[in-house]
Structure 1
Amino acid sequence: MNPLGPGDPLRLGPYRLVGVLGAGGMGKVYFGHDDQGRPAAVKVLLPQLSNDRHMVQRFLREAEAARTVTGRGVARVLAAQTEGGRLWIASEFLAGPTLEEAVTGQGPLPEQAVRALAASLADTLGTIHRAGLVHRDLKPANIVLTSSGPRVIDFGIARPEHGLTLTTTGQVPVTPGYGAPEQVLGQRVGPAADVFSLGAVLAYAASGVRAYTGGHVAAVQYEVVHGEPDLSRVPGPLSALIGPCLAKDPAARPTPDLIRTAFAAPRRAERIWRQGPLAEDIRARETGAQQWSTLPGTVVASPPGRRRLLAGLAVGAAVLGAGGGTAAWLLGGREAEGASGRKGAKAGARTWGPLAVADPFSPPAVVVDGTVVFGAKDGGLVAYGAEDGRQKWRAPNVTASAELVALPGGLIAAADGGGTVHALDAASGKEKWAAEMEAALLLAGNGDCLFAVTHDGDIRALDTRTRKPRWTARTEFGSGYARASEDHLVLQSDAGAITALELRTGALALFRAKGNRFGSIPAVHEGLAVVGGGSLIAIRIEDDEDVWTLAPESGQDWGSPTVDGGHVYVVAGTTLHCRRLSDGAKVWATDIQSVPIPSTRPQVLGDLVCDVTGKDPDSFDAIALRKDTGRPAWNHPQGSQKSLKLTSDGKRLFLLQNETATAVWGGTD
């Protein structure tokens, strides 16, 4: 814990603040206590954001996401001030190590302790799910071991179950190795994803090592999706119970209720947290918190007058160690840098950003006529100037999770929660038209048509001139990725099935049910559809014939392809390939230490091709290779393990990572 500094408040409501636990892009977390000496973790919105309506909504929305979760397994919220003056939320202070700290310092937990941990966490997950939420970030660092048992913290990315369709994002909002395969792939995430995370947590607690490992973050993600967990160090009886939690298929995972029953916590399990070395650690931290709460002269009376306090907002708690503390529930992301729009910047250099303005679950940005549009971290859409990074407009009533599609005439299509499509002017954000489409997911646009998956799972074409549906097709698509050419809409489902529909009528042009192992974003060019997956296949749509097929490269799957200038750029294994479109022959291949994630694809930037590299084991970075030789031109370090989404306007590369947006100069005039 750090001492208070200049500008830090001494008191907020009934709480006297005595130290700083941590800080993030939106706020600071202080250690404080009330006039009875009861400790609290007090989160405060940064003063410079207090007049920003959207930031205030974001601050409260994250608290609201956990307000309905009550029970012994989560941190209680004590009070909050939500209007007037500085906004703050005070939560129960949890004195104890995180599970990660406990295992790192003392080794794996005994079998009986793992059983007690499993039963307690399963019970807490059941409570969270019954409240209509999915935690989405259960990991050892978000579990605090207290004298009264484990507590789950950090509801920063918890979302309602009905609003969790994440497609074509490539975003992995959790620590690699703990997020479920469907979360890694950007697919729909439900309660079963928390069960997968619980399995990974229990494997770590029982063995001291992660169930999924790799030389870099991308390799870990690949193992989660395609590999098998390493449970060799987990005791046999526990391994048999943990294994089903890590099933690839969400439907095959047990429910929290079944997990609680199967692990059969021992009688008087609460004693596990009250005796032995772990209990000694917990008591030492409790003593430290008590000392900070009872320093002479720190007790203050409750402020006079009536304060509007909102009780019951659960936002997690900070964890204070004997020699220091960490804020475990802060928002991620860095402070937003002012827009610079530097001209003549060095290739690969930042021209503006990082701006802490993006929704972590936003799909890749869409660039239209010098405007970059993506999901805003406080909801809706936000648009910035591609050149100068200055905010142009916000649209709070549409959702980025339904995807964004560029339309002719400088328009951006987005959908609201009810399925109505809104066409917004990219330059001003003004709505040009709206049409009822029952859209759950926007797929693609082509000339005078917009294509979407409806709430019933049909594929629907909307005529953008008449604003009326042109046709609706029943398919086996479900969810996945799509691209439109002049004549066809090509779809590849999450399971790899390949479909092509005629644009005029919606009639089926081709269908391959067996597909290609998993889905990717198709590339469509002059009557050819190029799809990744287990193989890289170029299909002539007209007669459903393979022009060429490339088997898995070195046993590794193919990602989503990009076609440009008669060449196909695609990642296989950890290598970015350039292949001839005509026959699939290799032009060059460069190892970029990144695995293919279906929801991302290479971006063309003038004479460069860009993708995400994992060469730095601690960071996902952007890398640019020369299109003719495959030789590296530049690398833009990000310094973050969060997954990275790229978009190009031909001159600049736009990066979305966690909550930040950044523009990088490509070096092309």
Structure 2
Amino acid sequence: MNPLGPGDPLRLGPYRLVGVLGAGGMGKVYFAHDNQGRPAAVKVLLPQLSNDRHMVQRFLREAEAARSVTGRGVARVLAAQTEGGRLWIASEFLAGPTLEQAVDTYGPLPDEALRALAASLADTLGAIHAAGLIHRDLKPANIVLTSSGPRVIDFGIARPEHGLTLTTTGQVPVTPGYGAPEQVLGQRVGPAADIFSLGAVLAYAASGVRTYSGGHVAAVQYEVVHGEPDLSRVPEPLRVLIGPCLAKDPAFRPSHDQISTAFAPPRRAERIWQQGALAADIQQRETSARQWSTLPGTVVAQPPGRRRFLAGLAAGAGVLAVGGGTAAWLLKGEKEPGGPGNGGTDTTKDAKAVPAGRPVWGPLPAADPWSPPARAVDGMVLFGARDGGLVAYGAADGKKKWVDVNVTPSSEFLVLPDGLLVAVDAGGSVHAFVPSSGKEQWSAAVDAYVLLAADDEALYFMTRDKKIRAVNTKTQKILWTVTSAFGSGYAAAGGGRLVLFSDAGDVRALDRRSGQQAWERLDLSNYGAIPAIHDDTAVLAGTSLRAVRLTDGKDVWSVPTGRGAHDWSSAVIEGDRVYTVATYMLHCRRLSDGAKVWATDVSASYQPMDSPHVVGDYVCTVTAKDPKSFDAVALHKDTGKPAWTHAQGSKKSLKLTSDGKRLFLLQNETVTAVSGGVA
């Protein structure tokens, strides 16, 4: 699974998107979770195709086709949006390799496994045909092997039996070597076309090679129509069963019922998916899927009523949604159950009176568990509210100050140097709020899509067509716009530069005043991280921790991680100290020359985009020392000696932020403020 890019949506209906499972010419498939933590695969039509009537109709047909098929052999459709906004289909997430991956990795299937596969797929085709549909694209890549057996996916070109093909002249919407001769020729097809595809699939699974081959697509298709299948590598007992499926004349192919009977797998042959190397592979993928649900931003609780509509706007924008134009709907003085002033236990205390590492207030059941990390500014801590919208609590007393139900923090939100909070609505307008009250100060219709960074003069963001744009925060006028293939959600501004860090690990610096490229560095990391800027120096994470001059991008110093080590994480700079994480160690380095001040093993939970946080006399990060819990750990920032650990008792993702006096912990639905020992 690949990480989400800046242009990917974060929410679609009740689903929170976590990563990209695959992509094609028609759409992308994302890994997602619903509000109950149930995984799903969400297929989304590419935005640029939303005005293509042919592609939209094809996508709608896929949704309806997949919905109409029931049975354990297909991926069940869970939900879909087929009108208005971005079109998507959510189906069961199947944890397992495709048949193509399994054969490529483990070789041809043995006799019992092949028979079990044949019987299962024949039964599934029976269910598809009983619904009046033809799959039309059965192939190894569209068959997923799970612990409960093979499952058929992708109804992208499925049609009713009486339907014509979806092609125009000269186009064949089928994988070469698996489509039936009549399908290759663009003729009307029936259930027998899927039987031909099944025969080609079984021949591949039994031999490890395709039964039709050629130097190019036309040659393969010619062999399908005029040649004979190469079954020489298929074991003889299976060859006589597979051969009839590949008959040129559809009338001579067996039915799915005849195939189920002919292959007749031995008793308990289905256990093949639950033992051996293939089963271990499936189990590992199932474990990974469960782990993904503990990572930041995996599940979204769908807000009810009007908030559900606003969450839909956020899905369309892929960033913060500020509904209702410039109006701020503030619900002041609402109470949270179990929090201060709500009849529950009041844990609020003065920070000066609370020893470092002890709770100042909370935990409060107040947060959207998949909110971005909280922002602490102007005596407030702001984060996504449990029931939708943006909520502000007093950083010192833990009391709710205001809620704006029109703001859904589904993506990063920024704080300007003058202290204003900025967000982007679904129409691309930027809105700036006073954090202490939620009052809107200004807005600008500037086609914003993803907020990147801000300095004392400008706000920098990506537009919906992936250009980089700067807007003056005093006048709200556009300063410059540049076309860039270097789209990134990881950026920092300072020293006259906007520094962009791409998902691929490349870094580019733009001149603040003109937007022109000042310098670039390639292949610094395996993924994106957030740069740290201090005066005329940028500290970049990656395979090496390096400080570079903002003027020309040249190294001031560089420190490698070492062989087999995790890359350096995003860093935080305080004075002449750089704090970062690499390979479970929390490091302190001198900003001037990169020399090690100290390094302490804290069993850090490695999250490359998250930097440590300086709180009073301590530097804090997330530790995974307890295998059952992600906890906050603090070291003395001058010596690196352990100071305290705040145990959370949960393996859910833990996100930290700080106002310099307190550490704020957001985990699951709770928010806790921990004292840094500073008034």
Scaled by the length of structure 1, the TM-score of the pair is 0.55
State the distance in 2 between where 1:368 and 1:581 align: 26
Q: How far off its partner does 1:511 sit?
A: 1.4
Structure 1 residue 360: Cα displacement: 3.1
Paired position in structure 2 for 1:577: 587
Distance 1:408 1:370 in 2: 15
2:556 is the counterpart of 1:538: no
% identity of equivalent residues? 46
- The alignment status of 1:435 with 2:436, answered yes or no, reads no
Alignment of 1:567-646 (within 5 A): 567-646=577-656
Q: Say whether the 8 Å CA contact 1:133–1:159 is kept in structure 2.
A: no
Question: Separation in 1 of the partners of 2:455 and 2:141?
Answer: 47
Residue identity in the other structure for 2:482:
A
Alignment match, 1:53:
none
Alignment of 1:438-453 (within 5 A): 438-453=447-462
Distance in 1, matches of 2:143 and 2:492, equals 36
Aligned in 2, Cα 1:543/1:390: closer, same or farther, shift over 3 Å?
Answer: same
Note if 1:367 corresponds to 2:376: yes
1:341 maps to amino acid: T
Aligned equivalent of 2:338: 337
Hey, what's the Cα distance between the residues in 2 that align with 1:608 and 1:198? Answer: 44
Instruction: Describe how 1:89-108 pairs up with structure 2 within 5 A.
Output: none
Q: Give the aligned partner of residue 488 of structure 1.
A: 497
Identify which of 85, 90, 94 aligns with 1:198: 94
1-side partners of 2:571 and 2:62: how far apart?
Answer: 35
Kindly indicate whether the alpha-carbon contact (under 8 Å) linking 1:161 and 1:191 is maintained by their aligned counterparts in 2.
no
The match for 2:356 is 347
Change over 3 Å in CA distance of 1:245–1:277 after alignment to 2: closer
Q: 1:127 to 1:365 in 2, by over 3 A?
A: closer
Distance across 1 between alignment mates of 2:445 and 2:42: 37
Q: Which has the higher contact order (CA 8 A, sep 6+)?
A: 1
Structure 2 equivalent of residue 653 of structure 1:
663
Change (3 A) 1:151 1:516: closer
Map of 1:522 onto structure 2: 531
Q: Note if contact 1:608-1:626 (Cα within 8 Å) is conserved in structure 2.
A: yes
Query: Given that residues 358 and 376 in structure 1 are in contact (C-alpha distance below 8 angstroms), is that contact kept between their aligned partners in structure 2?
Result: yes
Cα distance per residue 1:361-389 (max 9 Å; x no partner): 32211111111112223333111111111
User: Partners in 1 of 2:446 and 2:425 — Cα distance?
Assistant: 10
| Unmatched runs of 5 consecutive residues or more in structure 2 | 1-12, 18-35, 47-58, 64-69, 118-138, 146-152, 157-174, 179-196, 206-241, 243-255, 272-304, 309-335, 341-346
Q: Within 5 A, what are the aligned runs for 1:273-312?
A: none
Q: Structure 1 residue 605: deviation in Å? A: 0.6
Letter paired with 2:94: L
Change (3 A) 1:150 1:475: closer
What amino acid is aligned across from residue 198 of structure 1 in structure 2?
L
Deviation of residue 425 (structure 1)?
Answer: 0.7
Q: 1:586 to 1:63 in 2, by over 3 A?
A: closer
1:59-100, CA deviations, whole angstroms, 9 ceiling, x for partnerless residues? xx74999xxxxxxxxxxxxxxxxxxxxxxxxx9xxxxxx99x
Q: Is the 8 A contact 1:354 1:660 kept in 2?
A: yes
CA distance in 2 between partners of 1:403 and 1:410 (Å): 16
Amino acid at match of 1:342: K
Q: Distance in 2 between matches of 1:451 and 1:653?
A: 28
Assess, with a 3 A threshold, how the Cα gap between structure 1 residues 426 and 160 changes in structure 2: closer, same or farther: farther
Counterpart position of 1:376: 385
Question: Could you tell me how far apart the structure 1 residues matched to 2:339 and 2:61 are?
Answer: 38
Partner of 1:499: 508
Name the aligned partner's letter for residue 356 of structure 1.
P
What TM-score do the two structures reach when normalised by structure 2? Answer: 0.54
| Cα displacement (A) at 1:608 | 0.6
Task: Report the alpha carbon displacement of residue 507 of structure 1 after superposing the two structures with TM.
Answer: 2.1
Say if 2:98 and 2:140, in contact at 8 Å, map to a contact too. no
Amino acid at match of 1:354: P
Residue 649 of structure 1 aligns with an amino acid whose one-letter code is: D
**1:558 Cα shift?**
1.2
Paired AA for residue 455 in structure 1:
R
Letter in 2 for 1:647: T
Q: Does 1:510 align with 2:519?
A: yes
In 2, Cα distance between the equivalents of 1:577 and 1:243?
Answer: 46
Q: Which has the larger radius of gyration?
A: 2
Report deviation, 1:519: 1.0
SS in 1 for 2:407: coil
Whether the 8 Å contact between 1:443 and 1:483 is mirrored in structure 2 is yes
Does the 8 Å CA contact 2:467/2:481 hold for their aligned counterparts? yes
Q: How far apart, CA to CA, are the structure 2 residues paired with 1:127 and 1:510?
A: 36
Distance 1:341 1:440, change over 3 A: same
Aligned AA (1:440): Y
Structure 1 position 359, deviation (Å): 2.6
Residues 453-492 of structure 1 aligned to structure 2 (within 5 Å): 453-492=462-501
**Which letter does structure 2 place at the counterpart of 1:624?**
A
Contact persistence 1:648–1:654 (CA under 8 A): yes
d(CA) in 2 for partners of 1:519, 1:403? 15
CA positional deviation for 1:353:
2.4
Q: Deviations over 1:267-303 (max 9, x none)?
A: 679999xx97999xxxxxxxxxxxxxxxxxxxxxxxx
**Equivalence for 1:184:** none
Deviation for aligned residue 1:465: 1.1
d(CA) in 2 for partners of 1:233, 1:593: 39
1:663 aligns with 2:679: no
> Deviation of residue 428 (structure 1)?
0.5
The one-character-per-residue Cα deviations of 1:326-345 (angstroms, maximum 9, x if unpaired) are: xxxxxxxxx96313322322
8 Å CA contact 1:480–1:520 kept in 2: the answer is no
CA contact (8 A) 1:569 1:578 kept: yes
Matches within 5 A, 1:8-87: 62=14
Of 231-240 and 545-554, more deviation after overlay is shown by 231-240
Q: Structure 2: how far apart are the matches of 1:562 and 1:468?
A: 31
Tell whether the 8 Å contact from 1:410 to 1:427 is kept in structure 2 after alignment: no
1:417 matched to 2:426? The reply is yes
- The residue number in structure 1 matching 2:575 is 565
Q: Pairwise CA RMSD of aligned residues?
A: 5.0
- Change in Cα spacing, 1:128 to 1:522, as seen in structure 2 (3 Å) is closer
Mapped partners of 1:159, 1:591: distance in 2: 48
Change over 3 Å in CA distance of 1:394–1:151 after alignment to 2 = same
Deviation at 1:350, TM superposition (A): 2.1
Q: Which amino acid aligns with 1:502?
A: D
Deviations 1:286-326 (A, max 9, x none): xxxxxxxxxxxxxxxxxxxxxxxx9xx9xxxxxxxxxxxxx
The answer to whether the Cα contact below 8 Å between 2:348 and 2:362 also exists between their aligned partners in 1 is no
Counterpart selection for 1:549 from 538, 543, 558: 558
Displacement, 1:553? 3.3
Q: Secondary structure at the residue paired with 1:634? A: strand
Gaps of 5+ in 1: 1-60, 66-90, 92-97, 100-120, 135-145, 165-189, 207-228, 247-253, 280-309, 314-334
Q: Tell me the residue number matched to 2:435.
A: 426
CA distances 1:228-263 after superposition (whole Å, capped 9, x unpaired): x9x8899798999799989xxxxxxx9676999898
Indicate the SS of the match to 1:401: coil
